Amino acid sequence: MQAEIITIGDEILIGQIIDTNSAWMAQQLNAIGIHVKQVSSVADHPADIIVALTLASGRADLIFITGGLGPTKDDVTKQTLSVYFGCGLRRDPDVLAHVESIFSRNGRPMLEMNRKQADVLDKSDVLFNAMGTAPGMWVTHKGKPYAIMPGVPFEMKHLMQERVLPRLRQMEGRQPLWHHTVLTAGIGESFLAEKIADIESALPSHIHLAYLPKPGFVRLRLTATGANLEILKQETAAVADQLKERLGDYFIANEDTLLEMLIRDFMQQRSLSLATAESCTGGNIARLITALPGSSSMFEGGAVTYSNAVKQAILGVKAETLETHGAVSEQTVREMASGAQNRFQVDYAIAVSGIAGPEGGTAEKPVGLVWIAVAGKTGVVAHKFLFGHDRAINIERSSVAALFMLWRLLHAERGE
């Protein structure tokens, strides 16, 4: 069973908001064996909406529509759908009572345009929206179901969870679908593909492998379809075990997760502590860690030591080290890591110093050069990286590389 999601709204197409609805809906649909064939975004123009509906009806078994159900003139979805489905609008008394109660409770005057929120398609089943004034609608047109919902994310999620998904679970024709993700780091996509080429070639036709790269990571997603969900889980787990054995140190986790989350859990379970000393990453590593709930149990603190003077004053980096080797050097990041470890009195410390760009590079030390050190219980490890010319990407890749170095050292020192 295949579905298409249509999001309606000029604000999406001009980049004013990001369409998070489609991603969330696709996750829910995949979980119950409904495959999303396409996602489309269209403007608040009747002709464009009708074209999108016509195309969707020709390639999908289910159509999901969000957006354009508000009370103002620019919200044209209901009127356009009445034309497409060849039906009128009716004012639903239960929805009207709900809208009136909201305005009464808030002490606000109710206008005629607010009452129009209770207008629904004649041929629809109303999907009652307890979280807002715009109801959802379920329409069957030429044998195909259409689920129509507001674009406000929390209202759409409420309707999907409480009204739409229960209906979908009763439908026949859904085929079990299972995703298993393997998280890797420290290896590029092409090298990774070459390393596991024989495993990928041997996959049965109902299991597909996808590469999902981002700076510093590659996610390997195994997608399996078949008649029995438990068998699909077993099959993908067996392939994941093969990948884990083949990848060795490049393997991070047998799930779709965050490296900083794995580090937090690892250190929490073993009562280990961490601090950071950052220059070119500007505190981004500390931000990634402290964004996680519970990070206070393992993260002691961090220092953004941008200038040489601050590196000396806060971390105890020697003046002669900076004069002889410069801020972006192995010697400096080693002293930064050791300094952070001592000053914060922690088990582990990460230090980063580099040239994020786009300016500041030289022939000897070009833009993208980054030195990273991690101080642990048995000493300090340091590595040199040469990234690109994009400042934001260099910061992101440096942060990932630093966390990956910490991850490896944690396992090496624990003998795991």
- Same domain flag for 272 and 395: yes
The total domain count for the chain is: 3
Q: Which pLDDT score is estimated for 28?
A: 94
pLDDT band at 268 (very low <50, low <70, confident <90, very high): very high
Residue 313 has pLDDT above 80, yes or no: yes
In angstroms, the CA 10 to CA 13 distance is 5
Query: Is the peptide bond preceding residue 153 cis, with omega within 30 degrees of 0?
Result: no
Q: Which pLDDT score is estimated for 172?
A: 82
- Same domain flag for 242 and 214: yes
Residue 104 has pLDDT above 90, yes or no: no
Residue 73 has pLDDT above 80, yes or no: no
Q: Which pLDDT score is estimated for 105?
A: 85
The encoded tokens of residue 15 equal 């980049």
Do residues 227 and 372 lie in contact, with contact meaning Cβ atoms separated by under 8 Å? Answer: no
116-172: pLDDT as tens digits: 889 999 999 999 999 988 999 999 999 999 999 999 999 999 999 999 999 999 888
More confident residue, 273 or 112: 273
- Same domain flag for 319 and 407: yes
Closest C-alpha to 56, from 102, 7, 21, 9:
7
Q: Which pLDDT score is estimated for 283?
A: 98
Range 254-282 average pLDDT: 97
Residue 233 has pLDDT above 80, yes or no: yes
Residue 86's domain comprises: 2-169
Is the model's pTM score more than 0.85? Answer: no
- Same domain flag for 151 and 212: no
Do residues 288 and 263 lie in contact, with contact meaning Cβ atoms separated by under 8 Å? Answer: no
- Same domain flag for 359 and 383: yes
- Same domain flag for 146 and 239: no
Q: Which pLDDT score is estimated for 208?
A: 95
- Same domain flag for 275 and 249: no
pLDDT band at 415 (very low <50, low <70, confident <90, very high): low
362-381: pLDDT as tens digits: 999 999 999 999 999 999 99
- Residue finishing a domain among 223, 253, 283: 253
Q: What is the CATH number of the domain that holds 388?
A: 3.90.950.20
The encoded tokens of residue 397 equal 């890749």
Q: Which pLDDT score is estimated for 1?
A: 87
Q: Which pLDDT score is estimated for 72?
A: 76
In angstroms, the CA 313 to CA 318 distance is 9
Beta strands at 207-214 and 251-253: parallel, antiparallel or unpaired: unpaired
Q: What is the CATH number of the domain that holds 239?
A: 3.30.70.2860
- Same domain flag for 264 and 388: yes
pLDDT band at 401 (very low <50, low <70, confident <90, very high): very high
- Same domain flag for 239 and 286: no
Please state the separation of Cα 314 from the chain's center in Å.
35
Q: Which pLDDT score is estimated for 31?
A: 87
pLDDT band at 80 (very low <50, low <70, confident <90, very high): very high
In angstroms, the CA 42 to CA 60 distance is 17
Concatenate the DSSP letters of all residues of 80-148 into one string. Answer: HHHHHHT--EEE-HHHHHHHHHHHHHTT----HHHHGGGEEETTPEEE--TTSSS-EEEEEETTEEEEE
In angstroms, the CA 219 to CA 212 distance is 5
- Residue finishing a domain among 209, 233, 253: 253
- Same domain flag for 19 and 157: yes
pLDDT band at 319 (very low <50, low <70, confident <90, very high): very high
Residue 70 has pLDDT above 90, yes or no: no
Q: What is the CATH number of the domain that holds 133?
A: 3.40.980.10
Element (H, E) at 36: strand 35-42
Q: Which pLDDT score is estimated for 416?
A: 57
- Same domain flag for 10 and 157: yes
- Residue finishing a domain among 117, 143, 169: 169
The encoded tokens of residue 188 equal 């590029």
- Same domain flag for 35 and 164: yes
Residue 201 has pLDDT above 80, yes or no: yes
The encoded tokens of residue 16 equal 């004013």
Q: Which pLDDT score is estimated for 114?
A: 86
